[in-house]
Structure 1
Amino acid sequence: MKTRILFSVRTFFSLFILFLAGCGGGDEGAGMQSKEDSGSEKKGMIGVSVLTLGNPFFSVIAENITSEAAKHGYEVIVVDGDRDVQKQANQIDDFLTKGVSAIILNPCDRISIGAAVKKANAAGVPVFTCDLKCVAEGAEVVSHVGSDNLQGGKLAGDAMVDALGETGGKVLVIHFPQANSCQLRVQGFKEVINAHNRGREVGKIEVVAELDGGGVRDEGYKVAEDTMQAHPDLAGIFAINDPSALGARAALEKAGKQDQVKIVAFDGQPEGKQAIKEGKIFADPVQFPDQIGKKTVELIISYFSGEDVPSEVLIPTALYTQADGLNDPELE
């Protein structure tokens, strides 16, 4: 069963100020813990392992999980998976040793994390995922909360068509294929591009490379640089998140091709929005990580209460363009 919740860009401008909170990586055992309300009885612990706290998007999810769970009397332990599936598997083992009531994951790998999830299943500890799915066979996840990434990918495709106009051209996709969410983004993007190309003799958009940028700035820079060398007439880049897009933008500026190549990204982080306002990125389908975190906790509380919960809740994205950036009170 799927549930979709509609939001608009402007309704959530103020929510993204949360991104400005500091973030950073952490050791496997390090993390942040919630404090239950003074005088309230602690009901249990929730263990949270995120893909990386080095990305503000996941920090916002973790912060909202922590604050929402505290309202219900649950302590939260947040740890950084650091994009390392074995490290994340060890963190799940640690959660089980500590006797957590539930586990929330942003899987570092949508398939390889399956064995660790099965351990939690065997221990009777419910597992929930948010933003990133676990799709390993036999691994049981109670519910998943995330963006409607297929819909967001289609918005990104529409934006690329608008950016390149009737000329079309060659496009690089900067991927992170380990994440199911990114698979869906790229799928939606390609569906729109293929529909645009159908029946055209001229003005086609050709995806000439689809490379793993790791979801981080440094690798986004490298794959953009490599692709420009192989395809000096590159016209567009679709990056699956803002960090990889900003890395690609730096590579374009170094090569003097910032006016030649249009970038469409994904996320709507403050730095990405600022780049859109300044014309450095063409557009972003934006996500709402605060809502993802809160909704995940709501489902856990409902599950503990014996209620039926949906297997998936999808929150649609909304396209953020330069016009939105110029009217965004949260930007400089």
Structure 2
Amino acid sequence: MKKRKQWILLFCIALTVCLASGAMLYVRQKNNNKKWSLIYIPKTEDGTNDFWTSLISGTRMAAQECGASLTILAPEREQDVERQNEFLAEAIEENPDAILFSPSSFDASDELLQEAKEKGIKITFIDSYTESNIQDMTVATDNLEAGKLLGEYARTLLNENSRIAIVSHVKGVSTAVEREQGFREGLGDYNKNVVEVVYCNSLFDKASQLTEALIEKYPDLEMVAGMNEYSAVGAARAVQKCGKEGGIQVVGVDSSQEAVQLMEKGVFKGIVVQKAFKMGYLGVMETVRMLKGKPYDENVNSGCQLVTPENMYSSEIEKLIFPFNVLGAD
């Protein structure tokens, strides 16, 4: 009788293990086969900005490859925080599996993001982040690294008396803060030569106007550094318009076809290029990996590369500055 009870007990344990294993396998297979619903809210979907065009293309390719449903909701202007939050509220109502978000403000979206979190929606930040540590994952360029790389290169073009101006994009946003900090670190003791920092609110024309004003205000200005595509290209346009290509050197972050052309003409001396397509691609792929319950990295650095007139025609660099045919260099 006692032996019979032992056999029954062993059978029950074995049955329980089999049922648990079967349930786990079922859940795993279900997760692998599920069509995950994703909503991505970038800062803008601006056809004149190669960075966002490339990044969004990367998200779409990844979604197609992994069979996820991806909806893009984007303001027309990068600094339109109010419209971005309207899209975020709309996305929360849709209740997707995950919201991928590129915050235009350091703190204006935190309340809505908390609401999404409480509903069980996973949050992935792409490109930038907010003040509160609310995200499940961040996929971005190391902006301190990008700024420092630019600053170290800029220093080689200057002397201890050179005067430098910074044209940044949106005051207080994480990318602007970190790139400026890194740029100053890269300049080293030349940091004391930064005469002024201005913000163009990610508008090409405003960046040009601000740069023209800086050129007039500081006749001995030797360098302008732009912290994103809008500010860098806008600054380069102004330097070219004023006929100062020989006297004022322009460096910046982000590439575009216009930036490449301006480098060929000698206006840009150096550009730190983000791997935008790769950033968008990894943003989606790693989010789906997270949703499937697989191991994932909470902070993914998508990388960056310094492009100069000396290396711009190498095959590796061409993959970055003409990003629409390839995923991007590793």
In structure 1, the residue corresponding to 2:69 is in which secondary structure? strand
Query: Structure 1 residues 307, 238: closer, same or farther in 2, change over 3 A?
Result: same
Write the letter of the residue equivalent to 1:124: G
In structure 2, the residue corresponding to 1:184 is in which secondary structure? helix
Larger radius of gyration: 2
Contact 2:43/2:104, CA 8 A, preserved across alignment: yes
Contact 2:50/2:255, CA 8 A, preserved across alignment: no
Paired residue for 1:200? none
Give the number of aligned pairs: 283
Counterparts in 2 of 1:214-233, with a 5 A limit?
Answer: 214-233=201-220
In structure 1, the residue corresponding to 2:245 is in which secondary structure? coil
Paired residue for 2:17? none
Structure 2 CA distance for aligned equivalents of residues 97 and 42 of structure 1 = 21
Contact 2:222/2:248, CA 8 A, preserved across alignment: yes
In structure 1, the residue corresponding to 2:287 is in which secondary structure? helix
Paired residue for 1:266? 253
Counterparts in 2 of 1:93-108, with a 5 A limit?
Answer: 93-108=89-104
In structure 2, the residue corresponding to 1:290 is in which secondary structure? helix
Aligned with 2:162 (options 169, 172, 176): 169
Give the drift of 1:311: 2.0
Q: Deviations over 1:147-187 (max 9, x none)?
A: 111111111112211222x3541111111233212211111
Structure 2 CA distance for aligned equivalents of residues 227 and 111 of structure 1 = 30
Write the letter of the residue equivalent to 2:186: V
Identical positions, percent: 21
Contact 1:102/1:126, CA 8 A, preserved across alignment: yes
Structure with the bigger percentage of helix: 2
Structure 2 CA distance for aligned equivalents of residues 181 and 205 of structure 1 = 22
Query: Structure 1 residues 214, 118: closer, same or farther in 2, change over 3 A?
Result: same
Contact 2:226/2:233, CA 8 A, preserved across alignment: no
In structure 2, the residue corresponding to 1:271 is in which secondary structure? helix
Paired residue for 1:69? 63
Query: Structure 1 residues 205, 162: closer, same or farther in 2, change over 3 A?
Result: farther
Counterparts in 2 of 1:205-284, with a 5 A limit?
Answer: 206-284=193-271
List structure 1 runs of 4+ shifted beyond 4 angstroms. Answer: 326-332
Write the letter of the residue equivalent to 1:113: S
Give the drift of 1:326: 4.2
Matched, 1:45 2:41: no
TM-score by length of 1: 0.79
Paired residue for 1:24? none
Paired residue for 1:88? 84
List runs of 5+ in structure 1 lacking aligned partners.
1-40, 198-203
Matched, 1:142 2:136: yes
Structure 2 CA distance for aligned equivalents of residues 51 and 178 of structure 1 = 15
Query: Structure 1 residues 277, 196: closer, same or farther in 2, change over 3 A?
Result: farther
List runs of 5+ in structure 2 lacking aligned partners.
1-32, 323-330
Structure 2 CA distance for aligned equivalents of residues 73 and 256 of structure 1 = 51
Paired residue for 2:298? 311
TM-score by length of 2: 0.79
Matched, 1:180 2:174: yes
Write the letter of the residue equivalent to 2:168: H
Write the letter of the residue equivalent to 1:290: F
Contact 2:236/2:262, CA 8 A, preserved across alignment: no
Paired residue for 1:11? none
Q: Deviations over 1:271-307 (max 9, x none)?
A: 2223222211000111111111111112211211113
CA RMSD of aligned residues (A): 2.2
Contact 2:36/2:288, CA 8 A, preserved across alignment: no
